[in-house]
Chains A and B, each alone.
Chain A
Amino acid sequence: MSYNRNSRREFLRKLACVACSGGSAAMIPQLRMIGSALANTKALTGYKALVCIYLSGGNDGWNLVVPFDTPRYNVYAAARSGVYTVGGANPNPGGLGLAQPTGGQIAIQGITDGNDASPSTNQYFMHPNAPELAKLFQPNATLSISKKLALVVNVGTLVKPINKTMYNQSAANRPPQLFSHSDQEDLWHQANTNGSAVQGWGGLCGDVLQPQSTGNAQLSSCISIAGANRFEVGMNTVPYQMSSGGLTALSGVCNPTPCAGVSTTSIRNGALNNLLGDTYANDFADEYGAVFQRGRDLYNLLSAGLTATTLTTTFLPANNSLASQLQMVAKMIKLSKAQGLAQRQIYYVRYGGFDLHAGMMSGNGNHGQLLTAVSQAMNSFYKCLGADFGAAPGAQNEVTTFTASEFARTLQSNGSGSDHGWGGVQMVMGGAVNGGKLYSNGDLLTGFPNQDLTAPNNFSRGQMIPGIGVEQYAATLAQWMGVTSMTDLNAIFPNLPNFPTKNLGFV
């Protein structure tokens, strides 16, 4: 009865691809075109990794970077219902505005936009809890950390470049289900505005890159340290999901499998392997078996090497989920490079708690605390890529880290926090990044957005209409990874033809 699972699954997959029946393939016929330029493409060289840090809940990016010049700062502070102040003569505990840095804090928080030569408009400051990020952005005598961070400003989900008039003209001009966490997160993962896609842009990039790479075919080009995610699912790419704690043995059976000799352990191990190798008429059972089987195969492949892979860098904050996840990414990159497991890898980590409708400025889990963790963890990761990967610059130039989040938030306060918005600010970090710059020039709405709540680029509570589409942001990263044919890019990012600018130039 039972035959080889992999052959059956491979058959089903091929069947799905040939017929393109159901799922996204039917809805996005361009996906069939992916990799069609393969024959003309040379094999990839070297190693590169893309690391997605997903900030779950909607990061209030408008408090990550703030205009420093007085006119724009005053507009910002008014839009945020005033500067957050407790105690004193004029408390404003409902305000969401950050204080303008003074004295020595200016050097710590202040940044200059390298894309803007005008001193009257190129001064900004970053959140006081993110000094490590500000330092990575600033020019620095220490070359390895000078201008390694770029800020992409007012990026969000878009069908095409729009302004408020176009927004109001037709629902077709805007993405579906704006302001909904789950839907907007899906659109960020997909980098398209198809409401029912299965695949994400990372996985589809994996589909293109994996066949051009040498490495171990068992290890997916997409690796998640944060569980299931649409971003890393491709037509042929299934993310390998691991824990930030690494790999643990499975109790009562052999690790790795099979084991030598006969024992009660080996008997159980054989029974389990047989059950996992069998095929099942019910697809839920069969898929569960396939996931489990993959877990066992990848344990065999990676466990010993991962145990032997050590890092000297201390990851901060201690006992922080994001820091632990990035530490595991660094380990996997180190192991993958050392053993030649892959030439292109896409990682996914996730950090939650950003849906700060209440307690944004104070209390347990407030925005400042979250940004402290993001700043320290990203900085630790970047340092590790230098210190733990041989001679300078180590792997710093081979790894590009970027943030994503379903939306930014209303500028206006609700008395304790901010509500769901749209366009926001994202960070890109790495040795290959053209850092020290704000990338804010969209094709229609350009420049750092006017934060006046009555300005035509936003809605009444300061939900910003994005100037830059997720497609442009993602396609820039995809091109750096080696997805360069326009055929592939347009298949992965079906809205990209709507945007004149295909590459934002930050990496």
Chain B
Amino acid sequence: MTERTLRILLPAIALAIGVLAWDLVVRIKGIPPFVLPSPGLVFAKLFSDWPILGPSLAVTLLTTLQGFILALIGGVGLAVLFNQSRLVEYSLYPYAVALQVTPVVAIAPLLLIYLPQPAAVLACAWIVAFFPVLANTTLGLNSVDRNLVDLFRLYGASRRQILLHLKLPSALPYILGGVRIAGGLALIGAVVAEIAAGSAGAGSGLAYRIAESGYRLDIPRMFAALLLLSVVGVAIFFALTLLSHLVLRRWHESALRAEG
């Protein structure tokens, strides 16, 4: 059996054993669904409650996507600005770090006071997700081959040419590394803010559904929503890994190893 089949088969077997054990424990001990629902019940809830969960999933996905894209623009944009102007970098970088190390769950209630709920949730997703993009892009822009810089200078390249044709392409593997982290973090930021917001309404995301189900002791729906959230997280990670691989496969070592 090849390494590759094992990598897919073994986790699948582990999952099957886990779900089976979960199901058996619930059946044998006769645990009521409001304490621990059986896997079958969770799946059934996923379908029966889809009219509620589906739109919530869309809301959370949209917020995550918006937060992610804004984080990408903000992170790369700020890193380029910092790279071009040391004055701006020294003035602002410490505050970017401060924003990152302050727990977002503590910032969320404050944002919810000043901003309408959707904007506050988006802001939280952005705050959590932009920093890895900023930090990685900054590292990438500073990791340019010195000889290539000399080569560009030799032919009289402008700052703009050096940025567009040398620094940004050099930084691309680093940017994509930051992007992969940011994708997952945007989801976390959105979920944290939704939970902190906690108000009902048409525009309520999956995290709100989890909190709401908790109040109503609808534990099967809680599990169903949780399942959706983790599927979204995994899907984001794989999509961004694939993107990174496709962009880098012709030239970068990280993609070379993934091929071999």
A and B assemble together: no
Q: Report A's interface with B, CB cutoff 8 A.
A: none
Q: Report B's interface with A, CB cutoff 8 A.
A: none
